[in-house]
Chains A and B, each alone.
Chain A
Amino acid sequence: MKKIIVENLKYKYPLSEKLALNNVSFEIEQGEFIGVIGRNLSGKSTLCQAMVGLVPHFYKGAYGGKVIIDGLEVRNYSIADISLKVGIVFQNPFTQITGSKMTVYEEIAFGLENLGISRAEMINRIDFALNLLKIAPFKERSPFDLSGGQMQRMAIASIIAMKPEIIVLDEPTSQLDPEGSEEVFRAIQDLSKQGITVILAEHKMEKMAEFCNRILLLDDGKVVDFDVPEKVFSRDDLGEHGVNAPVYTRVCKALNKKKAGTNDYPVTLEEAVRVLGGMGL
């Protein structure tokens, strides 16, 4: 089932002269884990915000084309309506904090209060999210006393507790240590395997290659490519688009080692090991 359809989306922020998104079209199936990559200012955050209706309803500006989320055309529905289907984790976790809650626990509960679910269900979901993101030990702390990494975990937990059908994450692991990033990618992959549709923007190419079903490469507001990781990362023109392939791909490219029977280079550690084989031990 097509969960997200974007058709010729064009968008310009107010007071801006150039298009932040320029004729963007793609379709996403339910349960896909989509990675969005591209140099800074290429339009990743704008695209994320177009999925939840902040573009255009909050930012205004000039908008053309269509975004259809689970049957709803974003242009014709309010942010409140769309938010019942899509949750977003912002690039800066600070913007996500309500500012009115005293503890991490209450902060996560906040989004659930208006969903009309039972108290028992609320508690279940909050505990699940706290444990999934490993922030249960901080649940009584003030959200403002968290480190950047802990705040990012809380922002993700808040969205996961709401159990939206679609989750959009904008550089959600930028402040996390390597182990934390790995944990978050795994947790999100589990959700996508359970049928939740995921769109995630990041610069960590090794992680994107390992976890995403497909990669959307943006440059200057346009879609350069939308394909499986090995296709996108095997492109010869990635550098021109301000992106570096995963280390494994770069090594195999330099050694001209393709995946057996294909025209693509390995994108993960396992694939690279298979192609490069053991040394002559």
Chain B
Amino acid sequence: MITVSNLSYAYQKGNPVLIDIHLNIDQRSTAIIGQNGAGKTTFVKLLKGLLKPFEGEVFIQNQQVKNRTAAELAKIIGLVFQNPNDQIFKNKVLDEVMFGPLNMGIDKQQATENAMEALEMVGLHDKLDMNPHDLSLSEKKLLCIASVVAMDTNIIILDEPTIAQDYQGKETIKKVIKTLKEKNKLVMTIIHDMDFVAENFERTIVFNEGKVILDGDTRFVFAQKDILKSAHVEAPEITKLGEKLGYRKTFLTIEEFIDYKNQERNL
């Protein structure tokens, strides 16, 4: 769905932030991980056409991003910003979520329907008239997710959605991702919560100092202990436990581990 070739970027000359990125992004749900400052946010802004490549190309559905207008891209790719205050600008929750669909030319009735469905998904459907700025940080993040979901794009990118979320908030985001996957949408997420990555994403891409240093099936990626270490990234807690106990298998979820233990006991 997205092809990135030879992509480089710098905010200031001589200070490259992304260096020679080559990626083929397909339908698999994909996590992007890596240290603060590794270039993750910059990368997704380039995909969305918010920044122009210094060098190299980004193709989305076989069309070059740089030849497309922001309005055209908005119909294909949605991005939930890392900081909700960079995204929110209306003074009512419902208006905020309806803005995207209306702006894309969707009629009012359909826009309302999309907005309500998205707000229900994130559990904000009872706060339609509230001012977004009176919401807590975790609610603002959910609101921003709803705003992008309501636009019904084929590609949805979330930049650190689980910041400030409690257990319930993370469960809600899990459900949103699952629903989007079921609708055959490509979901990409920048995230530091490795347990969340292991549970929810088929593919994981590791950024380090502007380069992709590891990419593949999530289970494969979390088994590459040394490369992860060099990217200053840790495996999920359950993966670490299995490894410390000396198992060869790479565990991604608690359920997997427990099933394995129970089978072992029955042997």
A contacts, CB < 8 Å to B: 38-41, 91-92, 147-150, 171, 174-180, 203, 206, 242-244, 246-248, 250-251, 254-255, 269, 272-273, 276-281
Q: Which residues of A contact B136 (CB under 8 A)?
A: 40-41
The yes or no answer to B128 lying at the interface (CB within 8 A) is no
Complex CA–CA separation, A175 to B40 (angstroms): 14
Supply 4 further A-B pairs (C-beta < 8 A) apart from A40-B164, A243-B167: A149-B37, A150-B37, A251-B258, A281-B246
User: Which B130-157 residues have C-beta < 8 A from chain A?
Assistant: 136-138
Are A269 and B195 in touch, CB under 8 angstroms?
no
Complex CA–CA separation, A254 to B234 (angstroms): 24
Per-residue A-contact encoding for B214-250, CB less than 8 Å = 1, 0 else: 0000000000000000001110111011001111000
Q: Which residues of B contact A281 (CB under 8 A)?
A: 246
Are A279 and B247 in touch, CB under 8 angstroms?
yes
The yes or no answer to B100 lying at the interface (CB within 8 A) is no
Are A150 and B36 in touch, CB under 8 angstroms?
yes
Are A251 and B168 in touch, CB under 8 angstroms?
no
- Quote the shortest CB–CB distance from A112 to chain B (angstroms): 26
Contact-size category for B:
35 or more
Q: What are 5 inter-chain pairs, A to B, with CB distance below 8 A?
A: A150-B37, A177-B34, A206-B237, A279-B247, A279-B264
The yes or no answer to B1 lying at the interface (CB within 8 A) is no
Are A273 and B245 in touch, CB under 8 angstroms?
yes
Q: Which residues of A contact B241 (CB under 8 A)?
A: 247-248, 251, 269, 272-273, 276
Are B261 and A255 in touch, CB under 8 angstroms?
yes
Are A180 and B195 in touch, CB under 8 angstroms?
no
The yes or no answer to B5 lying at the interface (CB within 8 A) is no
Are B166 and A179 in touch, CB under 8 angstroms?
no
Q: Which residues of B contact A174 (CB under 8 A)?
A: 163-164
Q: Which 3 A-B pairs have the closest CB atoms?
A: A149-B36, A247-B237, A244-B167
Complex CA–CA separation, A199 to B145 (angstroms): 32
- Quote the shortest CB–CB distance from A266 to chain B (angstroms): 10
Per-residue A-contact encoding for B13-40, CB less than 8 Å = 1, 0 else: 0000000000000000000001111000
Complex CA–CA separation, A38 to B262 (angstroms): 32
Q: Which residues of B contact A255 (CB under 8 A)?
A: 258, 261-262
Are A39 and B245 in touch, CB under 8 angstroms?
no
Complex CA–CA separation, A179 to B192 (angstroms): 10
Q: Which residues of A contact B245 (CB under 8 A)?
A: 273, 276-279
Q: Given contacts A91-B137, A251-B238, are A147 and B36 in contact (CB under 8 A)? A: yes
The dominant DSSP class at the A interface is: loop
Are A251 and B244 in touch, CB under 8 angstroms?
no
Q: Which residues of A contact B233 (CB under 8 A)?
A: 177-179
With beta carbons under 8 angstroms apart, the residue of B36, B160, B254, B264 that contacts A250 is B254
The yes or no answer to B194 lying at the interface (CB within 8 A) is yes
Chain A, Cβ-Cβ closest to B41: A147
Complex CA–CA separation, A150 to B258 (angstroms): 38
User: Which B107-137 residues have C-beta < 8 A from chain A?
Assistant: 136-137
Are B166 and A177 in touch, CB under 8 angstroms?
no
Complex CA–CA separation, A31 to B82 (angstroms): 35
Q: Which residues of A contact B264 (CB under 8 A)?
A: 279-280
The yes or no answer to B87 lying at the interface (CB within 8 A) is no
Q: Given contacts A147-B36, A272-B241, A279-B245, are A247 and B168 in contact (CB under 8 A)? A: no
Chain B, Cβ-Cβ closest to A178: B234
The yes or no answer to B257 lying at the interface (CB within 8 A) is yes
Q: Which residues of A contact B34 (CB under 8 A)?
A: 177
Are B244 and A269 in touch, CB under 8 angstroms?
yes
Q: Which residues of B contact A41 (CB under 8 A)?
A: 136
With beta carbons under 8 angstroms apart, the residue of A40, A91, A176, A248 that contacts B169 is A40
Are A203 and B165 in touch, CB under 8 angstroms?
yes
Q: Which residues of B contact A92 (CB under 8 A)?
A: 137
Q: Which residues of B contact A40 (CB under 8 A)?
A: 136, 138, 164-166, 168-169
Q: Which residues of B contact A244 (CB under 8 A)?
A: 167
- Quote the shortest CB–CB distance from A242 to chain B (angstroms): 6
Are B82 and A247 in touch, CB under 8 angstroms?
no
The yes or no answer to B83 lying at the interface (CB within 8 A) is yes
Q: Which residues of B contact A180 (CB under 8 A)?
A: 35-36
Q: Which of B82, B167, B234, B254 has the largest number of chain A CB atoms within 10 A?
A: B167
Q: Which of B165, B237, B240 has the largest number of chain A CB atoms within 10 A?
A: B237
Are A247 and B246 in touch, CB under 8 angstroms?
no
With beta carbons under 8 angstroms apart, the residue of A242, A247, A278, A279 that contacts B195 is A247
Q: Which residues of A contact B258 (CB under 8 A)?
A: 251, 254-255
Complex CA–CA separation, A39 to B169 (angstroms): 9
Chain B, Cβ-Cβ closest to A182: B234
Q: Which residues of B contact A279 (CB under 8 A)?
A: 245-247, 264
Chain B, Cβ-Cβ closest to A94: B85
Are A176 and B254 in touch, CB under 8 angstroms?
no
Complex CA–CA separation, A158 to B232 (angstroms): 25
- Quote the shortest CB–CB distance from A136 to chain B (angstroms): 15
Complex CA–CA separation, A242 to B164 (angstroms): 14
